[in-house]
C-alpha cells in the first residue's frame, strides 16, 4: 500500500463504511469492507503516532484524565462522609457581624463599620516611629 495522507485515509474509511451499509441493507457479506476499514484505521493511527510529540501528548492526556478521575473520586468520598456525619434537616446559619451603635468623639451616635480582618494599608509618607505614635 502506497503512503497515504491522513485525509485520503479518512475518505477511504468513510467510503468503506458507506459501502458496508449498502451491503448490510442488501444482506450481503461485509468481511472485505471490514478488512479494508481496519487496514485504513491502522495506517491512520500509525501516521498519527509518527507525528511529533505523540507519545508525550498521549501521556499527558492520560495523566490529566487520571488526575481528574482522582479528584472526582476524592470529592465523592468527601460528599459521602459529609452526608453520613451531618443530619439532613439541619440548616447552618452563617455568623454575621452586625454593626453596633457607637459614640464618636464629637458626641454623635453612628453605626460602627463592620471590621474585616484584612491587611491594613501601609502609609506611604512619614512612616517614622514618632509620627506613628502621634497618629495613635
8, 16 in Cβ contact below 8 A? Answer: no
User: H or E stretch including 111?
Assistant: strand 109-111
Residue 64's pLDDT is: 75
How many whole angstroms separate alpha carbon 8 and alpha carbon 43?
11
Residue 67's pLDDT is: 78
**Per-domain boundaries in the chain:** 6-85
pLDDT digit string (tens) for 11-65? 888 998 999 999 888 888 888 888 988 888 888 877 666 666 666 777 777 777 7
Residue 104's pLDDT is: 66
Helix axis angle, 31-50 to 54-85, nearest 10°: 100
Provide the 8-state DSSP code for 115: P
How many whole angstroms separate alpha carbon 11 and alpha carbon 113?
71
pLDDT digit string (tens) for 96-131? 666 666 676 676 766 666 555 666 666 666 656 665
Residue 62's pLDDT is: 75
Amino acid at each position: 500500500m502506497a503512503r497515504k495522507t491522513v485525509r485520503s485515509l479518512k475518505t477511504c474509511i468513510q467510503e468503506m463504511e458507506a459501502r458496508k451499509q449498502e451491503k448490510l441493507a442488501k444482506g450481503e457479506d461485509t468481511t472485505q469492507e471490514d478488512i479494508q476499514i481496519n487496514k485504513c484505521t491502522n495506517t491512520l493511527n500509525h501516521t498519527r503516532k509518527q507525528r511529533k510529540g505523540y507519545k508525550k501528548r498521549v501521556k499527558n492526556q492520560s495523566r490529566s484524565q487520571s488526575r481528574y478521575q482522582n479528584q472526582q473520586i476524592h470529592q465523592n468520598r468527601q460528599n459521602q462522609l459529609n452526608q453520613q456525619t451531618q443530619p439532613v434537616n439541619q440548616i447552618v446559619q452563617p455568623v454575621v457581624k452586625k454593626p453596633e451603635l457607637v459614640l464618636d468623639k464629637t458626641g454623635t451616635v453612628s453605626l460602627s463599620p463592620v471590621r474585616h480582618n484584612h491587611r491594613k494599608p501601609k502609609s506611604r509618607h512619614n512612616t517614622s516611629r514618632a509620627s506613628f505614635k502621634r497618629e495613635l
